[in-house]
Structure 1
């Protein structure tokens, strides 16, 4: 498997890379050292939009991470009200993506998109708990094969101001299938069905499409992490 830094570039990134490259060329004409800085910025932009292939666990009931990043919070929380999923807390896993993480988002489990809801909001640091409530977001309510429901929420951050979601109501998506992208540092929340224990701990690194967040068929209690 090729290294992550040699991964293909997502199509959403090419317009930005082209702009960075043009600016770098213009800076080089003004003063060569500025051109080198522009070239480094262009390389970073290409790195940001990388889209590596992932090996997705192929077993019914497994919930995988929708994003690369740090498991920021594992706690009960009420899903966004615009999804109409009630006011009772559900197990929630929040994953924070910094500017060096892969920002392509993947479906955590095979499901049908029952509803999509966009909400304008603020742009607090996505690592803060209040970001789930107050930041701009795009939420998906998804229905599993057994009728249970989950929610996946893309949240804008302090720098990330653009949420892209290609999933539409009625779409049937596979586990690990790409459904969106957030530009330039952000967060994704996953709301699990009631009674399902998260199998990741706060502070753990997650890989989109590969790290298992939960197992809908297991009765294992929530996991705790130990820093060593």
Structure 2
């Protein structure tokens, strides 16, 4: 398993900060080695926490033009019929939302193979990711994939209370492949998927998903 590029610089700085902290503690309290051991243990836990957060496991993706794959690891928290105003201008769509906790892999993957028809970044607030208004008021991106002439899938990366930076690696006009990485959200966050009304949902509320592997829906 490799470490994601978004975390390499941060982990390097964190390692040296913790190293200096432990060396300082050890120097100042040589007469109390137990305290140095406790500080060292806490430092190790902190470093391992951030290390696992930035992990980037390899995923075997089975390409299927009828399947919409999970764009992220996490838990399904919303399955509902709703309206989408930014791109679909109030038309009804099926919405599936995946909540990503700090313990999940935070790599985001293309749910389908197709053309990036629309992309927009929105600065915003940092409400908790499960807040009803987080999809419209938080920092977020909106990405629309065109699969066929009349079939479009919208994905929205939504920052959470702890996530303060969304990364993306695609732009309007790009051709993308299902399962390939398209972005990363640091710390707790959420991804919303807006599907055609005739799509057959393949997940249930509370289900755990794996990005690039779990089938979210099947297209007609």
The two structures have a TM-score, normalised by structure 1, of 0.87
Report what 1:131 is aligned to: 134
Post-superposition shift, 1:80? 4.9
The 1:45–1:80 alpha-carbon spacing in structure 2 relative to 1, beyond 3 Å, is: farther
2:187 pairs with 1:184? yes
Post-superposition shift, 1:60? 1.9
Measured in 2, the distance between the counterparts of 1:120 and 1:156 equals 10
Measured in 2, the distance between the counterparts of 1:149 and 1:204 equals 24
Please say if residues 198 and 219 of structure 2, whose CA atoms lie closer than 8 Å, have aligned partners that are also in contact. no
Please say if residues 69 and 215 of structure 2, whose CA atoms lie closer than 8 Å, have aligned partners that are also in contact. yes
Report what 2:198 is aligned to: 195
Please say if residues 24 and 34 of structure 1, whose CA atoms lie closer than 8 Å, have aligned partners that are also in contact. no
Report what 1:144 is aligned to: 147
Which secondary structure state, in structure 2, belongs to the residue aligned with residue 89 of structure 1? strand
Measured in 2, the distance between the counterparts of 1:214 and 1:154 equals 18
Report what 1:74 is aligned to: 79
Post-superposition shift, 1:175? 0.7
Report what 2:211 is aligned to: 208
Q: Map Cα deviations across residues 32-75 of structure 1 (whole Å, 9 max, x no partner).
A: 33243223212221111111111222222110000000101001
Measured in 2, the distance between the counterparts of 1:116 and 1:80 equals 14
Measured in 1, the distance between the counterparts of 2:68 and 2:50 equals 30
Larger Rg belongs to: 2
Please say if residues 18 and 43 of structure 2, whose CA atoms lie closer than 8 Å, have aligned partners that are also in contact. yes
Structure with the higher fraction of residues in strand conformation: 2
2:119 pairs with 1:116? yes
Total equivalences in the alignment: 209
Measured in 2, the distance between the counterparts of 1:181 and 1:113 equals 17
Please say if residues 21 and 38 of structure 1, whose CA atoms lie closer than 8 Å, have aligned partners that are also in contact. no
Please say if residues 167 and 183 of structure 2, whose CA atoms lie closer than 8 Å, have aligned partners that are also in contact. yes
CA RMSD between the two structures: 1.3
Alignment map for 1:35-74 (pairs within 5 Å) = 35-74=40-79
The two structures have a TM-score, normalised by structure 2, of 0.90
Measured in 1, the distance between the counterparts of 2:52 and 2:96 equals 26
Measured in 2, the distance between the counterparts of 1:181 and 1:18 equals 19
Please say if residues 70 and 209 of structure 2, whose CA atoms lie closer than 8 Å, have aligned partners that are also in contact. yes
- Greater shift, 183-192 or 127-136, is seen at 127-136
Which secondary structure state, in structure 1, belongs to the residue aligned with residue 90 of structure 2? coil
Q: Displaced runs of 4+ in structure 1, greater than 6 A?
A: none
Report what 1:92 is aligned to: 95
Report what 1:221 is aligned to: none
Post-superposition shift, 1:128? 2.4
